[in-house]
Amino acid sequence: MVQILDGKAMALQIKDEIANEVRSLTQAGHRAPHLAAVIVGEDGASKTYVANKEKSSREVGFTSSVYRMPESTTEAQLLETIAFLNNDPDIDGYIVQLPLPKHINEQTIINSISPDKDVDGFTPINIGRMVLGEDCFVPATPMGICTLLKRYGIETAGKHCVVLGRSNIVGTPAANLLSRKGFDCTVTICHSKTQNLKEMCRQADILVVAIGKPEFVTADIVKPGAVVIDVGIHRVEDASKKNGYRVIGDVKHDEVDAQCSWVTPVPGGVGPLTIVSLLENTLKAYRKHESR
Ligand code: NAP
């Protein structure tokens, strides 16, 4: 029987743990951790993501601030804001919401974020530390996947894990983390040039899907008893819903779920854990700042 990796419930539990720690800190007279976000332009999805991060920050008792900049912001102006955030001692961590407008070089911006405040774990320094297995900020979505597997006690050692997708923010770090000591999976990464993708997927004990294609993974390419982690998020029109849409993933759940041992739903799987991982990284940054 398939079991659900309930990211929503787990996120609530972890948020409770964080909120308790923040309460103890502030009751003892310390300041609260402070997470900031920078958003440039009017991208609807980005606005929703930042609003959710702000809401979650406040729910756990963090101080939260959002720097909203117009679409016309120049790279130099954004770099100035980043320099300010890097130097403000009251800000423990911050994120720059991606994507940025086309006229701004994303990598230039990421490279300018102080690694000590890089709670998204996107800077080359943090990525390098992660690959070396050193203490670092791990990108939130792969960190969320690891948390789900760990807290549900899913056996990973020696398992064949196939990761569909090799983006810098999901697929590549997920593959790295799951191959390391502690998880000990044997990992295969598939991407758009992979020739025998279906055969690869059928061999997966653990299938992590971060391909960005709605319902790409169908039952015929999933091994019976596999653990399936669906990272995809897509809005599709649905007249039967009040808001006119529903959210689906990269996995065709109505046919795949029945043959899995464990599966993440969409919504309510990896998504809630992504935000919580950002909060955990911010608390970690706070502890480091306070211990100096
Ligand atoms: P991305 O940057 O678009 O990367 C997609 C990856 O999939 C690329 O590596 C690409 O290969 C590969 N790919 C695309 N089509 C393929 C095909 N037909 N066969 C094999 N590989 C293929 O996407 P992403 O940022 O990693 O995000 C993936 C999904 O996760 C999206 O739906 C996104 O919305 C969602 N997401 C969710 C969360 C969350 O919190 N739940 C967070 C981030 C992203 P190439 O490298 O060869 O192009």
Distance of CA 209 from the midpoint of ligand 1 (Å): 8
Report the number of secondary-structure helices (H) and strands (E) in the chain: 10, 11
- Residue whose token pair is 């203490």: 135
Nearest CA to ligand 1 atom 39: 271
Q: What's the whole-model pTM score?
A: 0.96
Ranges of each domain in the chain: 29-114, 140-271
What average pLDDT does range 159-188 have in this prediction?
98
- Residue whose token pair is 């939260």: 64
Cα of first residue to Cα of last residue in the chain, in angstroms, is 50
| β-bridge partners, 160 | 186
Gyration radius of the chain over CA positions: 19
Closest CA to 64 of 104, 33, 43: 33
When pLDDT is cut at 50, 70 and 90, the band that residue 164 belongs to is very high
What pLDDT score does 292 carry? 77
Nearest CA to ligand 1 atom 31: 212
Neighbours of 199 (CB within 10 A): 10
What is the architecture, at CATH level 2, of domain 140-271?
3-Layer(aba) Sandwich (3.40)
Query: DSSP 3-state assignment of 135?
Result: coil
Same fold across 29-114 and 140-271:
yes
Q: Exactly one of 15, 92, 117, 120 is catalytic; which is it?
A: 120
What average pLDDT does range 83-107 have in this prediction?
97
Tell me the pLDDT of the chain averaged across its residues: 97
Contact between residue 136 and residue 164 where contact means Cβ atoms under 8 Å apart: no
Inform me whether the pLDDT recorded for 44 exceeds 90.
no
At the top level of CATH, the class of 29-114 is: alpha beta
43 an active-site residue? no
Inform me whether the pLDDT recorded for 45 exceeds 90.
no
What pLDDT score does 68 carry? 97
120 an active-site residue? yes
